[in-house]
Structure 1
Amino acid sequence: MDKTKILLAHGSGGRLTHDLISKYLVQSLSNPLLNKLDDAAVFKTGGNMAFTTDSYVVSPIFFPGGNIGKLAVCGTVNDLSVMGAVPKYLSLSFIIEEGLDITVLEEIIQSIAAAAKEAGVEIVTGDTKVVNIGKADKIFINTAGVGFIPEELDISGSNAQPGDAVIVSGTMGDHGIAIMAQREGLNFKMAVESDCAPLNGLIADMLKACPRIHVMRDPTRGGLATTLNEIAAQSQVGIELDEESIPVKPAVGGACDALGLDPLYVANEGKLIAILPEEFAPKVLSAMKAHPYGVDSAVIGRVTAKNPSRVSIRTPLGALRILDMQSGELLPRIC
């Protein structure tokens, strides 16, 4: 591996991404807000505000269950929402390759409008750049978003505590396998669609059931395993999962078996992880299952004081194995 060049794996959300961020970005730009490395920065401007930004370079730009426009809105809304914020305003910037069909752009914009309407957010500013043929891949989108956090909430990747329950809002790996199937022309017996969706409505219901949720995170690049490793490191706790409790659709599990992939490392775009006091887990789980985006929710593990910064998983045979952070590039340009 050439350590003097940027590789696709640096954008995977795994270990190389974290090395790049910690060694270059955080080291040079260090400040208290940035150093938390949460999905959005939280700061006070009269009240608590969350601010986030993201760029979308997914290939292909249309896929089962969505397109790059829907993905951009949902991804930004979700990054705000998992911090407990109520998303309000988004920016939208396009980098468009010369030659893109106007009807393609129109369809993407209509998807953006529909996703924004569903999430209850407004696109209030933006920018458009056009580059020469061959200088981009059809279209890239950058977004930023702001939202407001109720004073009583304190949600962060550094808040997980021993004894907490770990919950996921649904099946793992849907988005990554949908992208891979579309990109590579793979056909499965059962169709696989991206789970791309805005989660702010689901999260609002969860917070009504339990305003003491400690951590929420959407397991996008790097999947469930990498995201839980991030949380374990931020909170300096151990996390132990029950493999049989983790929901995976049969089609996704079968595709992963055939392709030699682990669904726990495959990206999601409409799912979340919640970590909260165990006594509130039944009430929160009930609220999640009552929402369309949480019907497959499940308690999948617990936080422990043992093995800080480590994630382990108990197999159906009862063995306990380490679930490490993704180190290479499983599937580039997933979002």
Structure 2
Amino acid sequence: MATDNTVLLGHGSGGQMMKRLIDEVFLEAFGSPELLVGNDSGVAELAPTGRIAMSTDSFVVTPRFFPGGDIGRLAVCGTVNDVATSGAHVRYLSCGFILEEGFPMDDLLRICSSMAKTAEEASVRIITGDTKVVERGGVDGVYINTAGVGEVPEGVELSGGACRPGDVVLVSGTLGDHGIAVMSQREGLAFSTTIESDAAPLNHLIAAVLTAAPRTRCFRDPTRGGLASTLNEFAAASNVEIEVDEDAVPVLPQVQAACEMLGYDPLQVANEGKMVAVVPADEADAALEAMRASRYGENAAIIGRVSELAPAARPRVLVRTPWGSTRILDMLVGEQLPRIC
């Protein structure tokens, strides 16, 4: 591979160049026993629970490298977190690369190394994959698709439609970090303190919360659309009202300042390493303690409560401001920050 400084069309040909790319880049980085077998699919063990959770996602973020992460870390974290929100023990991932002719090989190696380290951190294995190379201009450098699968333990039934009046809403940390980190890097914005993406695998945090608060109603990672989209989805699915205390929502000062400058609401900005949980009130303190004891949950907070709808009212999300007034928190209309994941 030393002579191949960039990705060439031949790397997607199915011939010797493609085999060398797979052997010297992907197998070298990921190297799980299932992948090394070399079959068209990875065969792996799943506990006989009778239920699995599976999710797939595609990642097209620009720039590919940004403070706190890169497209490879994002691809692993995004799919791990999506599967984990069902309460599943995430076990295996697949990954598919669409590469542009001329893409720097050093960048591809860096991305694969990041994916391998993140998968190890999440205790998951990449067991199968695919590579396609297209002509220059066919894609913007590299796009990655990942799919994940995990076992859902017996008795675990999580759903955004399970929220009940009196339940409590928690978030696992500061909001808006990822969206603002990517935007500032893309637009060349300079702040006194570097804003870093929060991209992180949260399956271990979710498992800890489920142990501490076994009657948890649901989890959701507030990615595109941020907290606003997540809570509106919960409210609609459960036919309830959710009220958020704005003062209780953790937002870094530099993120708040950036949002004010750009005209964004931090509650609508994307996150890639945060989790929203709705739990019964009597388990809220235990859930919060479990979050704060986890690696990525030290800034976790209780931010709101679920309420019963008034007669003839429609599901909605309200924000109680520091001045005692309330405002409606709507979902985004259109795309606020394109290509942030």
TM band (smaller chain) = 0.7 to 0.9
1:122 to 125, 142, 156: 125
SS at match of 1:189: coil
Provide the C-alpha distance between the structure 1 equivalents of 2:324 and 2:213, rounded to a whole number of angstroms: 32
Match of 2:143 among 137, 140, 143: 140
Query: Runs of 5+ in structure 2 lacking a partner?
Result: 1-46
| 1:172/1:266 contact within 8 Å kept | yes
What is the match of residue 305 of structure 2? Answer: 302
Among residues 138, 154, 157, which one is paired with 1:154 in the alignment? Answer: 157
Code of the residue aligned with 2:127 in structure 1: it is V
Task: Report the AA paired with residue 51 of structure 2.
Answer: N
Give, in whole Å, the separation in 2 of the partners of 1:234 and 1:287.
Answer: 26
The structure with the larger Rg is 2
Could you report, residue by residue, the CA deviation over 1:250-272 in whole angstroms, capped at 9, with x for unpaired residues?
01001001111110010000000
Q: Alpha-carbon deviation of 1:236? A: 1.1
Are residue 182 (structure 1) and residue 185 (structure 2) matched?
yes
The AA in structure 2 aligned to 1:225 is A
1:96–1:182: structure 2 CA closer, same or farther, 3 Å change rule? Answer: same
Deviations along 1:206-245, one digit per CA (max 9) or x if unpaired, are 1110111101000000000111111111111110110100
1:325 aligned partner: 331
What secondary structure, in the 3-state scheme, does the structure 2 residue paired with 1:124 have? strand
- Give the conservation status (yes or no) of the 8 Å contact 2:49–2:153: no
Alignment RMSD (CA, Å)? 1.1
**Structure 1 residue ranges without an equivalent (≥5):** 1-43
| Offset of residue 46 of structure 1 | 4.7
- Tell me, in whole angstroms, the C-alpha distance in 2 between the residues paired with 1:45 and 1:183: 46
1:247 to 243, 246, 250: 250
Distance of 2:281 and 2:271 partners within structure 1: 25
Choose which of 233, 237, 241 in structure 1 pairs with 2:236.
233
CA distance in 2, matches of 1:328, 1:133: 29
Corresponding residue number in structure 2 for 1:278? 281
1:334 aligns to 2:337 (yes or no): no
In structure 1, what is the Cα distance between the partners aligned to 2:49 and 2:280?
30
Alignment partner of 1:293 out of 255, 272, 296: 296
Q: Please tell me whether the aligned partners of residues 73 and 114 of structure 2 are also in contact (alpha carbons under 8 angstroms).
A: yes
For the 8 Å contact 1:232–1:308, the answer to whether it is kept is no
* Secondary structure, counterpart of 2:233 in structure 1: helix
TM norm structure 1: 0.86
Number of residues of Structure 1 aligned to a counterpart in Structure 2: 292
Counterpart Cα distance in 1 of 2:237 and 2:133: 40
* Per-residue deviation, 1:45: 7.3
Q: Deviations over 1:68-97 (max 9, x none)?
A: 000000000000111101100111000000
| 1:311 has 2:317 as partner | yes
Q: TM-score, normalised by structure 2?
A: 0.84
